[in-house]
Structure 1
Amino acid sequence: MAKVFNVDSSFDYGMLAGASCAFGVFDGVHKGHCFLINQAKQTAAENGGISVALTFDIDPDERFHADRLKKLMTNERRIAALSQTGVDAVVVLPFTPEFSAQSPEGFLKTTFADSVPYALHVGCDFHFGARAAGGVGDLRAWADKRGAKICAHDLKSADGKPITATRIRLLLADGKCEEALALLGHPYSFEGTVTKGRGEGTDMGFSTANIELPGMMQTLGEGVYAAWATVDGVRYKAAMSMGVAPTFADATATCEVHILDFSGEIYGDVIEVEPVHFLRPMMKFDSLDALIATVMDNISWVRENLREETC
């Protein structure tokens, strides 16, 4: 696991001199991101320098569009995932209002100080500086004066379409977990703290763990899914719903998870949920019996069909 360096007054910019850097937000750490990172590792091996994943402490859109932002990972999970990609170091820049307001030239000066990387790997659509005014052409002009190499990559999937976090978010919003997985290269999952719920599930024979997610982490579309739930390091089959069930319109929980073959007390615990297959949309039932029968059918489907290789 790579060491994570937070850029502050004690940070030694000298470590970036001669380094091969993959630069980006890296939400989801998807296949396109991993390609960039692997390219940085390759040029580092060629040059004898270190490989660096260069990123921000927050998603820049959290500062500008927090009300409509949907994320694949929390910042903490994203940075932890970057540290496990095989790079030599992860360098985290604080995306402060002052940092974001800089011109492209000021942005690069703040990012690298007087150190010059050997290579900088970015996507072809990479933009930086105030109002995203800087592009790959500006990077090349900056690098040419300093002897650095800019490697801009066109990150596409097998179907010829770009691999982007936005594309993956849209797939998940449509409940297309399998298609999202193909672009991520790993399962989509989220973590949440189990809170006290309404209690109807227990009365109906299928108790649920209720999770309230921050708005920006509500990326998955509403519906019922087959999933995996990890509790205290143990992985269980689960049936989960995302959104508020119309039958209980006064509910506040954004996610309810029925964990198969589990009966422990987990209020206040953080669990990981990994939705892998869309089962049905949320719906309003005419009777409680109809709701119970449908939920039991969903649970049966999960028990009989969910296999470890699904994810």
Structure 2
Amino acid sequence: MRRTALRARAACFLKESSVAKVYKADETFNHELLAGASCAFGVFDGVHRGHRFLIGEAVKTARESGGISAVLTFDIDPDERFHAERLKKLMSNERRIEALAETGVDVVVVLPFTAEFSSQEPSAFLDALFKGAVPYAMHVGSDFRFGARAAGTVADLEAWGARDGMHVCAHDLKSADGRPITATRIRLLLADGECEQACALLGHPYVFEGAVLKGRGEGTDMGFATANISLPSMMQVLGEAVYAAYATVDGVRYKAAMSVGVAPTFADATATCEVHILDFAGEIYGDIIQIEPVHYLRPMIKFESVDELIATVKSNIQWVRENL
């Protein structure tokens, strides 16, 4: 009876639009929202096909049980707190949460990953998360870990949930080509310039964004101005190379040719991301633009002369114009 009543109370939170409402689980959050809910719990970097399968299972369970579906995630990747110097991410935290809200769930609950919260032992971690409002079902990966030092396992989650009849559904990783779909696998593909394969596993385009900075100016002098993009180290996933891409500026999508890495022809060059946006003219210094690399064109190479460099870059731009 209690679980049925809680589900009925939670029904008022159901969304009317296709985008889920996002809640921050701070001191103002009403934990009763999660009572009787069907939840998917994880970081979900990239919100790839494997993640979407897991979230889809939570949606399916919610329809069967009559409760709401919810994604539980953190406001940052936990490794940003523990291993920031070596972390690489497919999505910014903001875009990840936006993407999760577009997966068809009713709500997304964002947990502040504070030092205090992350240092709790597994059972205390769950008590603090739900505060007595126990979900109907919890969908996680079979390798799910939680609590201080990632000590909590699926078995610990099952033991905790058994007190109130919570169903724990641990799923093996979804596979493609005989191998599990993981964010690590996708990041490695992008590091090798395999944009098409990475996007196939993501189930959507790989897109990153960055602020446009003033560059060295060589591109303008040679007849193809470039936007120099500033990226935090943890977002520098794509391998050094030249790519065919799309650039979105003020909501308009343009064809683009992009280089990632050090331009070896120039001795004093530093690593950068430079984007030539076809058929675009405008002042965008300081603006945030989105880049969608779609095809590897060539490695970064040292040219014997500036004329050879210009001819090659113009050939790359022409390929983009004719093939995208």
> Shared fold (TM-score greater than 0.5)?
yes
The amino acid across from 1:299 in the alignment is I
Equivalent residues in 2 for 1:234-273 (5 A)?
234-252=252-270, 254-273=272-291
Post-superposition CA distance 1:100-153 (Å, at most 9, x none): 111111111111111110000111111111111111111111112220001111
Would the aligned equivalents of 2:263 and 2:271 in 1 still touch at CA under 8 Å? Answer: no
Determine whether 1:207 maps to 2:229. no
Determine whether 1:303 maps to 2:321. yes
Determine whether 1:66 maps to 2:84. yes
Structure 2 match to 1:309: none
Structure 1 match to 2:132: 114
Q: CA deviation at 1:202?
A: 0.7
User: Within 2, Cα distance between the matches of 1:115 and 1:251?
Assistant: 56
Q: CA deviation at 1:8?
A: 0.8
Q: CA deviation at 1:17?
A: 0.4
Structure 1 match to 2:38: 20
The amino acid across from 1:101 in the alignment is S
Q: CA deviation at 1:7?
A: 0.9
Equivalent residues in 2 for 1:1-311 (5 A)?
1-252=19-270, 254-306=272-324
Would the aligned equivalents of 1:25 and 1:55 in 2 still touch at CA under 8 Å? Answer: yes
Task: Find the residue that maps to 1:203 and give its secondary structure.
Answer: helix
User: Within 2, Cα distance between the matches of 1:11 and 1:285?
Assistant: 58
Post-superposition CA distance 1:133-191 (Å, at most 9, x none): 11111111111222000111112223221111111111111111111011100000101
Would the aligned equivalents of 2:248 and 2:254 in 1 still touch at CA under 8 Å? Answer: yes
Task: Find the residue that maps to 1:67 and give its secondary structure.
Answer: helix
Would the aligned equivalents of 1:212 and 1:253 in 2 still touch at CA under 8 Å? Answer: no
The amino acid across from 2:124 in the alignment is G
Structure 1 match to 2:14: none
Q: After the TM superposition, which segments of 4 or more aligned residues of structure 1 sit over 6 Å from their partners? A: none
Q: Bigger shift: 152-161 or 37-46?
A: 152-161
For structure 1, list consecutive stretches of 5 or more residues without a partner in the other structure: 307-311
Q: Bigger shift: 55-64 or 238-247?
A: 238-247
User: Within 1, Cα distance between the matches of 2:163 and 2:177?
Assistant: 37
User: Within 1, Cα distance between the matches of 2:290 and 2:266?
Assistant: 25
Would the aligned equivalents of 2:176 and 2:201 in 1 still touch at CA under 8 Å? Answer: no
User: Within 2, Cα distance between the matches of 1:130 and 1:243?
Assistant: 37
Would the aligned equivalents of 1:197 and 1:253 in 2 still touch at CA under 8 Å? Answer: no
User: Within 2, Cα distance between the matches of 1:105 and 1:246?
Assistant: 54
The amino acid across from 1:102 in the alignment is Q
Would the aligned equivalents of 1:122 and 1:153 in 2 still touch at CA under 8 Å? Answer: yes
The amino acid across from 1:295 in the alignment is V
Task: Find the residue that maps to 1:171 and give its secondary structure.
Answer: helix
User: Within 1, Cα distance between the matches of 2:208 and 2:168?
Assistant: 34
For structure 2, list consecutive stretches of 5 or more residues without a partner in the other structure: 1-18
User: Within 2, Cα distance between the matches of 1:19 and 1:156?
Assistant: 23
Would the aligned equivalents of 1:228 and 1:235 in 2 still touch at CA under 8 Å? Answer: yes
Q: CA deviation at 1:222?
A: 0.7
User: Within 1, Cα distance between the matches of 2:84 and 2:176?
Assistant: 32
User: Within 2, Cα distance between the matches of 1:249 and 1:187?
Assistant: 34
How many pairs align? 306
Identity between Structure 1 and Structure 2 (%): 75
User: Within 1, Cα distance between the matches of 2:267 and 2:88?
Assistant: 24
User: Within 1, Cα distance between the matches of 2:195 and 2:202?
Assistant: 10
Q: CA deviation at 1:253?
A: 5.5
The amino acid across from 2:26 in the alignment is D
Change (3 A) 1:266 1:209: same
User: Within 1, Cα distance between the matches of 2:120 and 2:156?
Assistant: 14
Would the aligned equivalents of 1:20 and 1:117 in 2 still touch at CA under 8 Å? Answer: yes
Would the aligned equivalents of 2:154 and 2:170 in 1 still touch at CA under 8 Å? Answer: yes
